[in-house]
Amino acid sequence: MSKTFSKWYDFFMVPLEQGKFKKIRRQLLKEATGKVLELGSGTGINFPLYDGVEVTAIEPSAHMIERSVPRKSASKVPVELIQAGAEKLPFADDTFDSVVATLVYCTIPDAEKAFAEMKRVCKNNGKILMFEHVRMRQPLLARLQERLTPYWGNICDGCRLDRDTVSLARESGLTIVQIKEYYKGLFIAMILRNVKS
């Protein structure tokens, strides 16, 4: 991730993050328990919202990690920051009680591999909590997302507007407990269970 993108990310997200997004994040993160893994923690926007848990946060961008340090310091819970990508997590099987992914799956190059890794490190019956923007169900809007994605991705560090994260979650074998839609289905919050056979 470029230094320029990391520098301007918070600035452009402030209007959303200070309003609806903060409420969505806070409500979703109440579901996190025990040892928590956060994927793609970015500038640490979630760190001050955790309560009563122990967080390990991975982020591939050194620039984002640097920008997240003040929020790590402001967190009420211990946060360990590790530079790593979601497709190859440096943790043993069944390490975490909960896994959190918020506005990150759109930028992961190999989303299927990231889902497999997330399942691997999450304990049996553990929770996976996601807040993402996704491919919309309305066909015209979905086609518009497809057309815009190459241009949007160049500006926003590879972000895919048309990623169907809900289908990826189902195909990975996770059990969807709850889905809430926002902004006519452009954003979704999901609670999933990692039920292992």
**Helix (H) or strand (E) run with residue 153 in it:** helix 139-155
Residue 129 pLDDT? 98
Task: Tell me the pTM.
Answer: 0.82
By mean pLDDT, which of 86-90, 120-124, 132-136, 146-150 is the weakest?
146-150
**Mean model confidence pLDDT for the chain:** 85
**In which band, very low, low, confident or very high, does the pLDDT at 106 lie, cut at 50, 70 and 90?**
confident
> On the CB side of 174, how many CA atoms lie within 13 Å of its CA?
32
pLDDT of residue 197: 76
Q: Please give the pLDDT value at position 105.
A: 86
Q: What are phi and psi of 104, to 5 degrees?
A: -130, -30
